[in-house]
Amino acid sequence: MSYTGPGFEPPHPRRSRLRRPLTVAVAALVPGALLGWVVYEAVGGSGGAAVSSSAVRTPAETASRAASSPAAPSPSDDRKVPNPEASATAPASGPLSGKVVVIDPGHNPGNFQHTAEINRTVDIGTGRKECDTTGTSTNDGYIEARFTLDVSRRLRELLQAQGATVELTQDEDRAFGPCIDERARIGNAAKADAVVSVHADGSGAGNRGFHVILPAAVSQGAADTRDIVAPSRELGERIAGSFVRVTGSAPSDYVGNGTGLVTRDDLGGLNLSTVPKVFIECGNMRDSKDAALLTSGAWRQKAAQGISEGIVSFLRG
């Protein structure tokens, strides 16, 4: 079908080289140890303010902050971003000023250590489902949760540059989760104009391509998606179209009949949403050719760009 549709380390302040010569000179000219000491302190104190060791990170420290979880090493170009509450900045002015976008990085790198918590079930309207899962990984151990965080952080930068207010459902700032029902509530509470849940698939080897998952019309229990089905489809179509154009990836050859669009009623993150929302499976981690793309920082930037352009197109109408 037709779719519509981004190492500088600041120098450490130098201690004044004049401290010792001036101290010696003063001590020689002014008799008395006490007076010499006083002058030493006065001269030494003007050498510049000290810099906290936490204010400047070495390259090694910066790299260590981007390290993957022990169970799943990730490529070195994953973007590590501090707690969003500590790094939040006012959105830039731009075409998306006043718009709110929630990005939902699928899974959480910490889920591996909290299987009991993520295995408990929650109500998704059409039934009950696990709070969350660990996600999939490439054959070489690059986990989906690392992939989704990296793409989501890149996507946040791009959307903020357009003026949008952007919120992530998690930014590795919690031990596990959140559960799928809470992920939906975060978007609802933000009154988001668009929500995108970022994933990568774990299908069989040989299956390739991306697909966007749309909410089905559900009205059962706590779920009622009837008002968001149409705008969510438009959001999904625009993302799919821009994803093809920017990444060069083809729509999935194993689901969606070549359209890159799939409708489902069994995902709590969609069923419980009251705002336009879609999932995107950016590729199949279990296929070696797709995995080569997913583990490339350059390609992940393209993926973020493709998703971003689709969101911008949707929000601008």
pLDDT tens track for 178-201: 999 999 999 999 999 999 999 999
How far apart are the C-alpha atoms of 121 and 99, rounded to whole Å? 33
Residue 251 in any domain: the answer is: yes
Tokens of 30: 């002014």
pTM: 0.75
- 73-107 pLDDT per residue, tens: 446 467 654 444 433 445 678 999 999 999 999 99
In a domain, 58, yes or no: no
Does residue 25 sit in the same domain as residue 98? no
16-30, 40-54, 57-71, 76-90: range with highest mean pLDDT: 76-90
Q: How many domains does the chain have?
A: 2
Catalytic residues, by residue number, are 281
Q: Do residues 139 and 95 share a domain?
A: yes
Query: Do 19 and 150 lie in a common domain?
Result: no
Give the model's pLDDT for residue 92: 72
Q: CB under 8 Å to 307, separation ≥6 — which residues? A: 151, 155, 196, 198, 239, 242, 243, 280
User: In terms of domains, do 228 and 270 share one?
Assistant: yes
* pLDDT tens string 125-165: 999 999 999 999 999 999 999 999 999 999 999 999 999 99
Residues 45 and 185 in one domain: no
Asked if residue 224 and residue 142 are part of one domain, the reply reads: yes
Instruction: Kindly state whether residues 161 and 213 are assigned to the same domain.
Output: yes
C-alpha span between 130 and 176 (Å, rounded): 13
CA distances, 155 to each of 73, 186, 190, 269 (Å): 22, 18, 18, 19
Backbone dihedral region for residue 209 (phi beyond 0: left; psi -120 to 50: alpha; all else: beta): left
The answer to whether residues 100 and 46 belong to one domain is: no
Same domain for 133 and 78, yes or no, is: yes
The least confident of 18-27, 176-185, 241-250 is 18-27
Return the pLDDT at 80.
52
Residue 83 and residue 41 in one domain: no
> Is pLDDT at 261 greater than 80 in this prediction?
yes
Quick check: is 309 in a domain?
yes
How is 81-104 classified by DSSP, letter by letter?
---HHHH--PPPPSTTTT-EEEEE
- Residue 62 confidence class, pLDDT cut points 50, 70, 90: very low
Residue 24 covered by a domain: yes
Give pLDDT, residue 90.
53
- CATH at 254: 3.40.630.40
Give me the pLDDT at residue 71, please: 41
Residues 86 and 233 in one domain: yes
Q: Tell me the three state secondary structure of residue 154.
A: helix
Which residue segment(s) compose the domain that 32 sits in? 14-50
Higher pLDDT: 304 or 7? It is 304
Q: Are 311 and 290 spatial neighbours (Cβ–Cβ below 8 Å)?
A: no
Quote the pLDDT of residue 29.
38
- Say if 3 falls within a structural domain: no
Average pLDDT over residues 13-21: 39
User: Does residue 31 sit in the same domain as residue 158?
Assistant: no
Within a domain: 283: yes
